[in-house]
Structure 1
Amino acid sequence: MWHTTHLTVLTVLLIAAGLSTVVTYVAARRRSAPADLPGTGIPLLDAAFLAGGPGRVVDTVLVRMHQEGRVIVSRSGLVTVTSNTAYDEVEAALLVAAGDLRQRDLPGLRRAVMTSDAVQRIGDRLAAHGLMLDPALLRRARSARRLLWLVVLAIPVSTVVGSILAAGRP
């Protein structure tokens, strides 16, 4: 009796987790047709995001500001802001991340700007235009896959436990 109930519950859980995983992955991989884009291409920072994510956006801004003489990047990895002029939101986020001293180590500065709202808005805008996958859906898909593996691993464990409990009865 217990084995039949046990197997039925695990089968239902396995089917539900499998369906959830498939539906979530299909939704995460679905891309809408790109829309509302200018005919001559996309802005530089949007292209940087598509080419390498938030880190590439920060690197692009740093290179642009360095070429214009608005930041200095030392060999030791210290970034010094020499001008408080920001031409876009990401540059403004970089100035804020540099702090009052107008200096910060490169890894810390990159991390702070990469997670800024300005850079995240670029990714959200690209996802809304259908040029990249929605990160929230991808996170849900990974969670669904973990749930599926958990259920699959629970089957042999519960089978062993059920066998031990059944063997203990007269």
Structure 2
Amino acid sequence: MAETGARWLVVMGVSGCGKSSLGAALAREFGLPLIEGDDFHAPESIRKMRAGVALTDADRAGWLSRLGQELAAHDKGAVLTCSALKRDYRDRLRAARPGLRFVFMALSREEAQRRVAERAAVHMFPASLVANQFATLESPVGEPGVLEVDATAPLERLAAQVRDWA
């Protein structure tokens, strides 16, 4: 295991990009707790997504507040998986935990669609909402503290990229 240090990372991107897999690998690598963003959605938001209804900024407001509280509660660092699709969402998380860094898992719309369709039987997010994720996405590339990675790369390579950067 790599050295443990106070670092806070958000693994972000559209649904199907591999946030949970990379987040779990990084949490193990850095010896940090993993905060799985999907675990904090309100029941009504989960019902909406399962029904194929896209979440609004209002739906996400309480969720983002809760994720910010989770980040703030971990004094020695944490890895959060969260779509963080808009700059405003990322800024809300940054306000909760200054110094927060983001790993943006870049993925094509076609690949995201394929991946989400493959896991439809076991995940709350339907493939019908992938287009909305891309319509909502405001790329974080160019923002401070952001590393863009190719979400189609092998997990080990992605973890090494983040380790070298973080």
TM-score (norm 1): 0.25
Structure (1 or 2) with the greater strand fraction: 2
TM-score (norm 2): 0.25
Structure (1 or 2) with the larger CA radius of gyration: 1
Structure (1 or 2) with the greater helix fraction: 1
